[in-house]
Chains A and B, each alone.
Chain A
Amino acid sequence: MLDLHGYGPRLLEGAGVTIQLAVLSLILAIVLGLLTASAKMSRSWLLHKVATLYTTVIRGVPDLVLMMLLFFGGQMALNVLTDIIYDRYGVDWYVNLNAFAAGVLTIGFIFGAYMGETFRGAFMAVDHGQIEAGKAYGMTPWLVFRRIRFPLMMRHALPGLSNNWMVLLKTTALVSVIGLTDMVRVAAEASRATHEPFTFLLPVAAIYLLIASISEWLFAYLQKRYNVGFGEH
């Protein structure tokens, strides 16, 4: 049997951190993506420019650099803020940036840009007649979004969404570099301590493959559901 030198429970905990991190960042990325897509399609010139700047810059810079910028820079900004509060109001208040929260915010922020592009294309692919029909039925804009635009858009967005999720899942490995104890960090520490890299790194790779395979299966199911009424695609 695999001898994990007592690192087993920590490795499992790390796997839990990875999954939580991935799912929470995905939710944040989807929300940001929907907002970005709406901003890009809005008539407001300013919103459009801001959204374009966001998607262009984020997609042009490596994840790791953005992560370090937001994590180390965020900590420094917080320090400056707490200093000001101390000087002005005499309140001694110190915050350490939580690595997990920083990870979720950074990954969500990065993938919001990718999701924005996916959703924009999908929204534009929705047949306009359907939306007009909804309006003709007297639906409010929110109801049109919830009942017509969103479900129809998802059909087009799912392949891109699934792709983004796979990339996001692998990106979570980078948080180990900024100090979060996910399964990659535990495995790397254990490899250095025991001089048995394969014992720890290969199982972690297998867990990533397992999550990817399960997600693939899940997305195939979702694709089938959202394609109901559209024949085989």
Chain B
Amino acid sequence: MEWFNALLADNRIFTPDTLGYYWEGLVTTTQLVFLSLLVGLVLAVPLSILRGSKHKWIKLPIYTYTYVFRGTPLLIQLYIIYYGVVFFDGIQETFLWPMLREAFYPALIAFTLNTAAYTTEIFHGAIKSTARGEIEAARAYGMSPGLTMRRIILPSAFRRALPAYGNEVIFMLHASAIASVVTLMDITGAARFVYARYYAPFEAFLFAAAIYLCLTFAILFFFRHLEKRLLAHLRPQSG
């Protein structure tokens, strides 16, 4: 730890104290983004299948949901959930209230609903673009529609959706910065706190920007690697 203290000795802003805020911010951001992506993904898979249904009463409500959540700013969605959650009758008596009173859970709900809407459309597009021949081959083998979906359509659709989904993950990481608006101490929240305390905008926000940049590159690298493995069959053959 001595070298660490020596490193920080010459500046007044990046004390172990402020670095602690940034660390806590990193943890909050990671939790928010990871959990909303995970739940959003779980919601998006069935929704994207139902989105392609032939029945108007199944596909229309899902389309309306994705249209509204993709067509309005996430900040508005966050405000509606954050300020509006109090107005659900009786919610203050339920066991959920202690959780919902904090900013973390309304933010998590808003982010989850938002990413689920985008992911549903990404998967829907991928499912729709499945080659007819693959589906016909499955049918010729006597597979039921459910089995065709599970064994043929979904695996190939998920692979094709991978690049677009990688973009969505990065988009979500960047969008999570608005959690700081509802008083959450994420990375941006920590930067705003450091800025307000030391009146040092460049140091405070450039440091946050550097953390986000590193996270973005890590996500990019992860998806590149995944694409290389899962989309190997689509690469041009050599020789």
Contacts and interface: CB of A to CB of B under 8 A. Distances in A.
A7 to B, nearest CB: 15
A69 B188 CA distance: 11
Contact of B178 (A64, A187, A192, A209): A64
A10 B175 CA distance: 27
B191 interface: yes
A66 interface: yes
A173 B73 contact: yes
Contacts of B202: 69, 73, 76
A64 B76 contact: no
A205 B80 contact: yes
Interface string B167-182: 0000001111110110
B156 interface: no
A201 B79 contact: yes
Given A173-B73, A212-B71, A62 B174 contact: yes
B217 interface: yes
A93 interface: no
A59 B77 CA distance: 23
A57 B213 contact: yes
A204 interface: yes
A113 interface: no
Contacts of B212: 60-62, 65
B209 to A, nearest CB: 4
A191 B83 contact: yes
A64 B177 contact: yes
Nearest to A172: B73
B72 interface: yes
A184 interface: yes
B79 A188 contact: yes
B30 interface: no
> Do most interface residues of chain A lie in helix, strand or loop, or is the interface mixed?
helix
Nearest to B217: A60
A76 B177 CA distance: 22
Interface string A144-185: 000000000000000000000010001111101100000010
B76 A68 contact: no
Given A65-B205, A65-B212, A191-B83, A176 B75 contact: yes
Interface residues of A, number: 38
B158 interface: no
B201 A72 contact: yes
A137 interface: no
Contact of A177 (B76, B80, B84, B181): B181
Contacts of A213: 71
B68 interface: yes
Interface string B72-109: 11111101100110010000000000000000000000
Interface in A67-115: 68-69, 72-73, 75-76
A198 interface: yes
SS of B interface (majority): helix
Given A57-B213, A60-B216, A62-B175, A68 B195 contact: yes
Contacts of B160: none
Contact of A174 (B75, B173, B195): B75
Nearest to B179: A64
B188 A173 contact: no
A173 B217 contact: no
Contact of B73 (A62, A170, A198): A170
Given A65-B191, A177-B181, A197 B83 contact: yes
A65 B72 contact: no
Interface string B210-226: 00110011000000000
Given A62-B173, A68-B195, A209-B71, 15 more contacts: A60-B216, A61-B212, A63-B174, A66-B209, A69-B209, A72-B201, A177-B178, A191-B79, A197-B80, A197-B87, A198-B84, A201-B83, A204-B76, A208-B76, A213-B71
27 contacts: A60-B212, A60-B213, A60-B216, A61-B174, A61-B213, A61-B216, A62-B173, A62-B174, A62-B175, A62-B212, A63-B177, A72-B201, A166-B71, A170-B72, A173-B74, A173-B75, A173-B76, A176-B75, A184-B73, A184-B75, A197-B80, A197-B84, A197-B87, A201-B79, A201-B80, A202-B80, A204-B76
Interface of B: 67-68, 71-77, 79-80, 83-84, 87, 173-178, 180-181, 188, 191-192, 195, 199, 201-202, 205-206, 208-209, 212-213, 216-217
